[in-house]
Structure 1
C-alpha cells in the first residue's frame, strides 16, 4: 500500500541494558570508548528486527557535552566530568565506524542531538552561535552517512540553526522535533508546533521524537501543512520528570512504561501511519522487539519497508 521507512529504536537505553552498568552522564559516549563493539551489536540487532535506517550513536557528541568542569550542564557537585572536547572528531569517527556493519542493510542516518541539553530550549545557544557548532558535527558525519537527522529539536530558533547547518553539507536534512507530552502541538519551548512549519517545509522530512506516544497524533496534524514526508518515533518513558528536564540527572532516573510493550507501541505506530506518517520507529526505551513488531504489523497491512 505505502512505502514506509522504519527507523531503529533507542540506542542509549539498549546500551544500558546490554552493558549491565548504571547510566552516567556520558553513558552512550563512554560506550564508544569502552565497548564500541556493543554499539555495533545494537545496530545489528535493530537491522535484524527490520529497521531500514541505522541511526549513528552520535546524538550526544557536541563540544558543550564533552567539555569538562562546571560549564558542562551535566556536571554537578558529585559528578565531575572529564574534558573530552578535543576528542570530538575521534568520537564521531568511532560512531560512524560502529555503524559500518549495517552499511549494506539500509541507510545510515547521522544523528545530531540538541545543543545545551535535551528538552531545554532555554539552554540552547542563539542561532548565530549554534549554526557553526551544528555544522562542525554535520560536516564530519556527512561523507559517511546517507542523511542527517537532527533530533529532539526544542524550539523554532533551534530548528532554523539545524536546517542552516545541515544545508551546508549537501546531504538530505531531516528535522525531528520534541513536543510537550500532554500538548503534542506545542514544542518544549512552549511555542506552537505550527510556528515551525515554514522551517520544516524547507527540510527533506519533518518528524517528532522523544515525546509520549499519545502526543504524536496532534504533532503530526500540526506538521502536515509542511508538505514534506513526515513521521514520528516516540519514547516509552514512564514520565519525563521535572528533575530530568531541569538537568543534572541521567537516564538512570527514568523508567520504562509497563504499558508500552511492543504490541501496544505498534498500535500507536500504525495509527500514525494511518495519519500519513511514512517514517516511523522508536526512541528511548524502545528496543529491537518493538521494531520487530512494527515491521511485522507494517508488512501484514501490506506496506513495504524501504
Structure 2
C-alpha cells in the first residue's frame, strides 16, 4: 500500500489515528506519568494502541513521543534515555503498522519558554528537536509531525530541525482557542498566519490539532482559513469535546458516533487528513472510517 504520502492525498481523504496519551491512560498509565517511558517499560501496550488504530481503519499513525525532547524527559529523570525512547517509539508504531499505514514521528512543544520569556535559546531548542527527530527517523518513521504548537518561533524551529535531519515528509499543526477576536493560538497567532508560518518554514502539510473549548464547527472554520492562506494539504485532529474531571481522572464527553456525524464538515472545509486528538479512541477512528466510507 505504502508509497508517497503526499501522492496519497491527491484527491483522497487519509484517516489518521486518534490520541495516544489519553488512550494509554485508559489502559493504565497514571495521570501525569511519562507516556514515553512505556516505549521501553510497557512496549506491548504501546504497540497494542497502534495496532488497534490500524484495525480501526487508520492509515497514518503518530508515535508515542509527544513529550520526547531531552528537556521534557529530564523532568521525569529520563534525559539520558532520549534517543532510545524516541527510536523505540518509531519502531513500535512501525511494527504495528507493517505496510498498512505511514508513520509520522510526533514532536510536541518542548515544555518551556524561549528567550526572553524563558531561559532557552533558539539554538538550544533546535539541538533538542534535532536529537529527537533523528532518533525517530532512525527508528523507521516515514516523516515527522510537529503538533500542538502555539508559538511561531517554536514551530519554525521544529520544522527546521525536521528538514535538517532529512525527514521525507514534514507535517505541522498548531492549536487554537476561540476568543472575541476569533481563533488564535495561546501566543496570539491567527489561523491564516499560522498556516503561512508553517508552510513558509518548510512544512509539506499544515494543520490544527487539540484546542481549547473547540467544537467541530470551529475546526472547520480554521481549516477554511488555512485553505485560503496556503495550497498545502491540511490535517485536522479534533479533541473529543471538552475535558472533564472525575477524581484524578480526565475524561472526554463526545462519543464516537457524535463526532463522526460531524466529520463531513471538515471534509467540506478542505481537510485531507482527518484523525483525533485528546480523548479520541480506536472506537472514534472506526466511526470516522464508517462515515468517510459512505
Runs (5+) with no aligned partner, structure 1 = 73-80, 242-250, 301-306
- In structure 1, how many angstroms separate the alpha carbons of the residues matched to 2:250 and 2:11? 35
Residue among 219, 228, 231 paired with 1:227: 231
Query: Which one is further off, 217-226 or 5-14?
Result: 217-226
Q: Distance in 2 between matches of 1:123 and 1:272?
A: 36
CA distance in 2, matches of 1:252, 1:134: 31
The match for 1:277 is: 271
1:213 aligns with 2:215: yes
For 1:303, the equivalent position in structure 2 comes to none
1:25 and 2:25 matched: no
1:244 maps to none
Query: With structure 1 as the length reference, what TM-score do the two structures score?
Result: 0.81
Structure 1 residues 96 and 124 mapped into 2: Cα distance closer, same or farther (>3 Å)? Answer: farther
2-side partners of 1:124 and 1:289: how far apart? 42
Q: What SS does the corresponding residue of 1:185 show, helix, strand or coil? A: strand
Establish whether residue 187 from structure 1 lines up as the match of residue 185 from structure 2. Answer: yes
Which SS does the other structure have where 1:158 is aligned? helix
Task: State the 1:12 CA deviation.
Answer: 1.1
Partner in structure 1 of residue 83 of structure 2: 89
Aligned CA RMSD, in angstroms, stands at 2.5
Match of 1:299 in 2: 293
Q: Aligned-pair distance for 1:293?
A: 0.8
Partner of 2:17: 8
Larger displacement relative to structure 2 (216-225 or 2-11)? 216-225
Please say if residues 178 and 208 of structure 1, whose CA atoms lie closer than 8 Å, have aligned partners that are also in contact: yes
Alpha-carbon distance in structure 2 between the residues aligned to 1:124 and 1:207: 29
Contact 2:39 2:85 in 1 (8 A): yes
Q: Is the 2:171–2:203 Cα contact (8 Å) retained in structure 1?
A: yes
CA distance in 2, matches of 1:25, 1:207: 27
Tell me which residue corresponds to 1:141: 136
TM (norm. structure 2) is 0.84
How many residue pairs were aligned? 272
Distance 1:195 1:10, change over 3 A: same
* Greater RCO (Cα-Cα under 8 Å, separation 6 or more): 1
The answer to whether residue 172 in structure 2 is matched with residue 175 in structure 1 is: yes
1:116–1:123 contact (8 Å) kept in structure 2: no
Structure-to-structure mapping, 1:53-72, within 5 angstroms? 53-67=60-74, 72=75
Q: Which residue of 2 aligns with 1:199?
A: 197
Match of 1:246? none
